[in-house]
Amino acid sequence: MLTTAEVAPQHVWRISRERYHQLAELGAFEGRRVQLLFGSVVEMNAMGSPPAMAIRLLTRQLVMQTGAAFDVLVQLPLGASDDSEPEPDFAIVPSAERDLHDHPRTARLVIEVAESSLKLDLGPKALLYASCKVPEYWVIDLTARRTVVHRSPRKGRYSRVQSVPWSHALKSTSVPGVSVKLGELLGH
């Protein structure tokens, strides 16, 4: 699939979350995995077995570690801005912050499990999550067996980014009790 940068159109039509929802109700995205990022509808690749298994194993662990204080949203919308509604693999939000009329606007911790989506997760999504003040963002790179940990969002970017090998435990600084040993969990 070509990106807008590759075809260099004179005009790129950006849409709002409101318009995105209207198009979805009309069936425009039926049968497709899409997300709205910075006003552009981005189609996601089909999920392979390694990311699916990683999400399955992490879901159980994160739910047990967060308890009743937090909700672990798995591939659910995050209303990050008026023109962005990503569906991160995990968004951990305080359970007290529930709104029946809109998706959460931010999260305490966002986690993406990346195989084919690594460029998107480390590029535009990192900027998006920093701009909506997610204090901590992890990108689990299944290919390189590392996690890129982003912390301290400032002026729409993360000021602290580090690569952590799976042999080291990850401990969240934003969600008490969340600690993951990916090498043990994913068997690598």
**Is residue 19, in this structure, part of any structural domain at all?**
no
| CATH code of residue 61 | 3.90.1570.10
Range of lowest pLDDT (6-15, 96-105, 106-115, 158-167): 6-15
Q: What is the pLDDT of residues 100-124, one digit of tens each?
A: 667 887 899 999 999 989 999 999 9
Within a domain: residue 12? no
| Domain assignment of residue 21, yes or no | no
* 3-class state of residue 169 by DSSP: coil
- Rounded Cα gap, residues 173 and 42, in angstroms: 30
Does some domain include residue 153? yes
Q: Is residue 115 part of a domain?
A: yes
Separation between Cα atoms, residue 177 and residue 151, nearest integer Å: 17
pLDDT of residue 2: 47
Residue 39 lies in a domain: no
| Domains in the chain, number | 1
pLDDT at 23 over 70: yes
pLDDT of residue 1: 44
Q: Does any domain span residue 97?
A: yes
Structural domain boundaries enclosing 82: 47-185
The tokens describing 55, both together, are 């999400």
82-92 tens-digit pLDDT: 999 999 999 99
What mean pLDDT value characterizes the chain?
Answer: 90
